[in-house]
A and B are shown apart, each in its own frame.
Chain A
Amino acid sequence: MQVAKATGCARTPWRRGCRVGAFALALAASGAWAGQASVPFAVTVNLRTGPETGTCQTSPESPARPSIVSIDCHAKPLEPSAVPSTPQARDGRAFRFVIPTGRGDERYGGVDLYAGTGTITSWRVVHLSDWDYLEMTVGW
């Protein structure tokens, strides 16, 4: 109503401009009038195609070409280590530990330790969330 007075529509409310204004006011009052506010943002990712851990093996030594060494690496997560076998008595008071570090068809290598008489050897396999490692102490 105040707008109508200010624009002179009170005296001539049938004018087209006044009708449009009244319609807009009615829409605003009824909540049908809509405004928008938009903001951009981004979705990002760093895709890594391989695991952080892997194993590498050197090729068998070639007497013919000793200067060439091939290294074959597998981007494959390390499997949990198996429980080391029970120490086996050997040569009287000496013990041999065979510690497997792979499982199934895939073997990452092994530790074949011969602890002779007078050698004090202790070891443990530490299990972490995503990998294991062997911790060994040898004294003599």
Chain B
Amino acid sequence: MNKRIIARLDIKGPNLVKGIHLEGLRVLGKPELFARYYYEAGADEMMYVDVVASLYNRNSLHDIVTRTAKEIFIPLTVAGGIRTLDDIRDILRAGADKVSLNTTAIKRPEIIKEASRKFGSSTIVVTIEAIKQPDGRYISYTDNGREYTGIEVLRWATMVEALGAGEIVITSVDREGTGLGFDLELTKMVAETVSIPVIAHGGAGSLEDIKSVIKTGKADAVAVASMLHYEFISKKGINGDYKKEGNIEFLKSGRSFSKINMATIPEIKQYLYNQNVSCRHNLRTGQSNA
């Protein structure tokens, strides 16, 4: 199976943001500009996450989703603050192809079954936010890694599949935003247990990390954020107007994390291709930028 590179955009209000361990959000720019750039560079899919939606009981992504869907013809998954079947229908109508559920699904697992029946399994993704416990067990969290549920990740993943979800995003909260590499043990454990595709998220800091989570972690797809975002900023500079919401000190300082190596999507694809990882590439140029 061809492995997918998914550009993940965490969004707060009108801005693209990025945190560490899903916390401490920093403003990076206008999400539409990043999305357009990744689309043209050959991203296989796009994922928009309203990172504060659960916290504030809101979902404000509709307008951004609609604008994106008009010009970007690759699959778009939307997550964050989706609570009911009506919420799912609304976000699909706004132009999303899939939704990803977490907090709501843990509170009421039946929604996975209802939603996959109503909208099709392939439309319903479940995100599992995992934190490794001192005793080595992995436990599922909700609300961006804030709320402990006591539910073991593997048990939850098996249940999510049985209830009809089409894909699982496995987020390592421990690694998210750190650039320290994916939690390979966590990803492999889930990918080898379920039959549905598993998307690895949290920790990409280098090309090698992406390769490892595919080869060793058995991931079917990889969600990448910081590596791509910092490359975009380094090339295009700071864009847009950020007065409305968010802390832009980080952006103005021009710093990024030393742990995170920037990369474009074509660079990621070329590297994977050279490492014998099959992925979509450009047939006309022979390059891996589809």
Are A and B subunits of one complex? no
What is the interface of chain B, defined by CB distance below 8 A to chain A? none
